[in-house]
Amino acid sequence: MDKVAVIVPALEKDVPGLWEAFSPAQSLAQEVVAFVLSPTRDAAEKAATFASRVVWLSVPEGKTFISRAVTALLGDALAKEAVPAVLVTSGGLGSALAPRLAARLKGSVVSEATRVEETPEGVVVSRPVYGGKAEARILLKAKPAVVTVKPGAFDAPQGQGQGQIQELSGTVEEEGQVLGREEVKTAGVPLNAAKVVVAGGRGVGGPEPFQRELKELADLLGGAVGASLAAVDAGWVPPSLQVGQTGTAVSPQVYIAVGISGASQHVAGITGARHIVAINNSKDAPIFRVADVGVVGDFKVIIPALIKALKENG
């Protein structure tokens, strides 16, 4: 296709995967037009390094909720561009805007895409289904195809220069306010950016292994420690470490699952991993069905041996 649009809802700093939608956009089209929602020009200038052109909509700064308010402005601007596809990273304002824009533009919408392709029939989107056990390929015939991109599913976009920035005129009024947010502070590499994730589940037996064996292995590999929902529910680790459908979706080079049975909601969050290594006492654990390498045994024996080998071999 000749042209594709990317929406960047940069109302907050450090939004997970905020810029990833540019990666499939650059593969789809020669011209990428970015629509940036931000109280300052900084985000528009960063978007200009990935896009051919940038349309910046200045939005109120603060604890605002404005999805309905910006739909009309964005919808009219997108209609003028006549793009066949619109991409935005899933989560927060992006997920709220996607269906509204698709309805306004009489297009189609799919969420949590892990691959986006152009075919003679239309845009084809792949996304995980059945808790990550299968992948659906969906043909979007109605244009524009509005697609939310699953964070962590795509590589970082490539800088293409410095696109021209123009400001979109219009007034955006607050519809409501976010009453509060809880800031989660993490030490070391963030889960969604880690190249290696060492995650523990109910099978590790308590909170101690997360601070000992799992942390030491993750530190040696330059990675991060994660956890299953069961470990979080047990109070062993904070929710910020949860990997899965209701936690963080990760896409590391290597994902090491320790004492994790492999429930569908957990597997849904690791579909982007390049390689999955499973360590579990039970040879019948479902995690082995998706693992590239499986080790049946006691992690208290296996992980120290692995740590020793890594130290001996540098």
Using one digit for the tens of pLDDT, what is the confidence trace for 201-218? 999 999 999 999 999 999
Alpha carbons 234 and 242: distance in angstroms, whole number: 12
- 166 pLDDT above the threshold of 80: yes
Distance of alpha carbon 1 from its chain centroid, rounded?
A: 25
pLDDT for the residue numbered 176: 65
b/e 198-223 (16+ beta carbons within 10 angstroms → b): bbbbbbbeeeebbeebbbbbbeebeb
Burial class of 81 by CB neighbour count within 10 A (0 to 12, 13 to 18, 19+): middle
Q: Which is more confident, 180 or 85?
A: 85
- 195 pLDDT above the threshold of 80: yes
Contact predicate 104/78, CB 8 Å: no
Question: Which of the four pLDDT bands, split at 50, 70 and 90, describes residue 222?
Answer: very high
Tell me which of 109-123, 154-168, 279-293 is least confident: 154-168
Nearest residue to 250 (alpha-carbon basis) of 239, 242, 261: 242
Tokens of 252: 């590391």
**3-class DSSP state of 70:** helix
Arithmetic mean of pLDDT, 170-185? 66
- 189 pLDDT above the threshold of 70: yes
Same CATH topology for 3-177 and 191-312: the answer is: yes
Backbone angles phi, psi at 114, to 5 degrees: -110, -10
Considering the entire predicted model, what is its pTM? 0.61
Q: Which residue ranges make up each domain of the chain?
A: 3-177, 191-312
| Averaged confidence pLDDT in the chain | 89
CATH architecture under which domain 3-177 falls: 3-Layer(aba) Sandwich (3.40)
- 10 pLDDT above the threshold of 60: yes
- 131 pLDDT above the threshold of 60: no
pLDDT for the residue numbered 119: 92
pLDDT for the residue numbered 173: 63
- Specify the CATH number of the domain 191-312: 3.40.50.1220
Distance of alpha carbon 172 from its chain centroid, rounded?
A: 27
**Looking at the DSSP assignment, which residues form a beta bridge with residue 147?**
87, 110
